[in-house]
Amino acid sequence: MNFFGALIGFALGMWLTHNLLGGLIGAALGFMFDASRQQQRRRTPAQGGYLAPLFALIGAVAKADGRISESEIAIAERLMARMNLDQEQRREAIDAFNEGKQPEFNATGVIDELRQWVGHRRDHAFPVIDVVIETVLAEGAPSPEKMAILRQLAFALRVSDMELMALMAMKGYAWNGPAGGRGHGGGGYVPPQRNTQGPDPYTVLGIQRDADERAIKRAYRKLISEHHPDRLGDLPDDMRRRAESRASEINAAYERIKAEKGFK
């Protein structure tokens, strides 16, 4: 929280009234002015403002284990570059990241903003989650605190643990899911581990190994529809490229399963 306005207000109040009460009133007015400006800097989801809540959430994830590493900062920097942010947008993203990394920051608010922005567009939900996963996995197997925020986001965007497992598999990590429950809290914790043999095609498609041909094709058609980049509308090029990458992973997984099962 920025207290600069409160300090200026206090000084001005003391100068004008020459008493403590005037200084306190000035500080209160300055604090309210700062809060109002901070709120205005944040675009609401209805105005297309996914940028500030997204980078605030990235900051919260980076700080979740108690410290922010150079690799996590580098990921945020690369994301800003890939999104081709102009100077004003970059400043907005940095301010949001710094806000999110504060110890008292509550990620629930920005997750709700992202939920409102995504709406019922699952094809928008996956690129948002994909961006956050990069920070979650920045240092390898993530902490329970980072995974808790990621699962809270997935739950808010109506993405199941099975779908989250598939997204992480595309990043080269195997995760067997939480030890209990579908929601974002509770249960034990099974940390994701890097899969040195590449993504498991069955995990990518979200199916069991004994699934029949019909179930495999149905899962593939559903996934390729949700992840197809042509459906993304006005999302930034970086998120579009992510969708293209996921579509390629889904196609590759489907081809591997087809070759293994022996159907066309």
Counting residues of the chain whose pLDDT is more than 90, the rounded percentage is 27
Structure confidence at residue 41 (pLDDT): 44
Structure confidence at residue 44 (pLDDT): 38
Is the pLDDT at 232 greater than 60? The verdict is no
Contact 97, 58 (CB under 8 A): yes
| Other C-beta atoms lying within 10 Å of the C-beta of residue 43 | 16
Counting residues of the chain whose pLDDT is more than 70, the rounded percentage is 70
* Residue 176 confidence class, pLDDT cut points 50, 70, 90: low
* Residue 201 confidence class, pLDDT cut points 50, 70, 90: confident
**Residue type at position 250:** I
* Most trustworthy range by pLDDT among 28-37, 38-47, 98-107: 98-107
What is the spatial distance between Cα 144 and Cα 184, in angstroms, rounded to a whole number?
11
- The mean pLDDT of 22-44, rounded to a whole number, is 58
* Most trustworthy range by pLDDT among 103-117, 162-176, 186-200: 103-117
Structure confidence at residue 191 (pLDDT): 61
Burial of 106 (0-12, 13-18, 19+ CB in 10 A): exposed
Structure confidence at residue 220 (pLDDT): 85
Domains in the chain, please, with CATH?
A: 4-41 (no CATH), 45-199 (1.10.3680)
Tens digit of each residue's pLDDT (9 = 90 or more) over 39-74? 444 443 333 478 999 999 999 999 999 889 999 999
- The mean pLDDT of 131-136, rounded to a whole number, is 91
What is the spatial distance between Cα 197 and Cα 217, in angstroms, rounded to a whole number?
24
What is the spatial distance between Cα 250 and Cα 73, in angstroms, rounded to a whole number?
29
What is the spatial distance between Cα 70 and Cα 54, in angstroms, rounded to a whole number?
19
